[in-house]
Amino acid sequence: MIQSYNSRLLDNAVAHLAKLPGIGQKTALRLALHLLRQEEDVAVGLGEAIAEMRRGIRYCSKCHNISEEDICPICASSRRDPDTVCVVESVKDVLTIEATREFNGLYHVLGGVISPLDGVSPSDLEIDSLVNRVTDDDVKEVILALNPTIEGDTTNFYIFRKLADSGVKISILARGISIGNELEYTDELTLGRSILNRVPFSNTFSTK
């Protein structure tokens, strides 16, 4: 139920805030009233920061990470190793792995994982562009760093088969990460170590 608060401006701000994930009507009202109590430049600054961020940020045409330019700073950096590409589900996984400071290669953001129940098929993801990139850029190793869930494993296997003929080395994060958890909430030490201890993908399922 949308309540009215006797002010069109407040109603409007609360309605917008309540659309954010995890924020209901009461929390939205609390945040709006908090912002009203602050100096004007705090609230206006927040509003402008959000609008500017959305207007200014696009996606890197190479790795599909967020970027303010056509090519993101990681792909453009000469200090990163272009031979190694780490495949992740989402932008926030890039940030999580960057925070470990254990990885110096490039990324490839899939934009999700294969999930028939949610209607996500391989063609909805950046898998073809990954295959092209591996071939065109002469990538030596692909590290699969998807969340350790059923959908993540399915996507790992799909990518593994797609890249099997290319001769690229395919690794997967060491299974120090507990199954069913989100990558984002793994502590940085465990996650960093699982990047260092990555194992060839073919070892993770029984091959004859």
Residue 188 interacting with a second copy (CB under 8 A): no
Shortest separation between residue 53's beta carbon and a second copy, angstroms: 4
Residue 76 interacting with a second copy (CB under 8 A): no
How do beta strands 141-144 and 199-200 pair? unpaired
For 175, phi then psi, to 5°, come to -80, 50
Among 62, 63, 64, 74, binds a second copy (CB under 8 A): 74
- For residues 71 and 62, what is the distance between their CA atoms, to the nearest angstrom? 7
Among 70, 118, 128, 184, binds a second copy (CB under 8 A): 184
Q: How many CA atoms lie within 13 A of 6 on its CB side?
A: 0
Residue 190 interacting with a second copy (CB under 8 A): no
Binding string, residues 103-132; x marks residues near a second copy by CB under 8 A: ------------------------------
Shortest separation between residue 35's beta carbon and a second copy, angstroms: 6
Grouping H, G, I as helix, E, B as strand and the rest as coil, residue 103 is: coil
Interhelix angle 150-163/127-136, nearest 10 degrees: 40
Is there a contact between 179 and 153 (Cβ–Cβ < 8 Å)? no
Is there a contact between 175 and 156 (Cβ–Cβ < 8 Å)? no
Question: Amino acid identity of 107?
Answer: Y
Among 63, 64, 67, 146, binds a second copy (CB under 8 A): 67
- For residues 32 and 119, what is the distance between their CA atoms, to the nearest angstrom? 36
Residue 199 interacting with a second copy (CB under 8 A): no
Q: Which is nearer to a second copy, 9 or 164 (CB)?
A: 9
* Interacting residues with a second copy (CB under 8 A): 3, 5-10, 12-13, 15-17, 19-22, 26-27, 29-36, 38, 40, 42-57, 65-68, 72-74, 90-92, 95, 98-99, 184
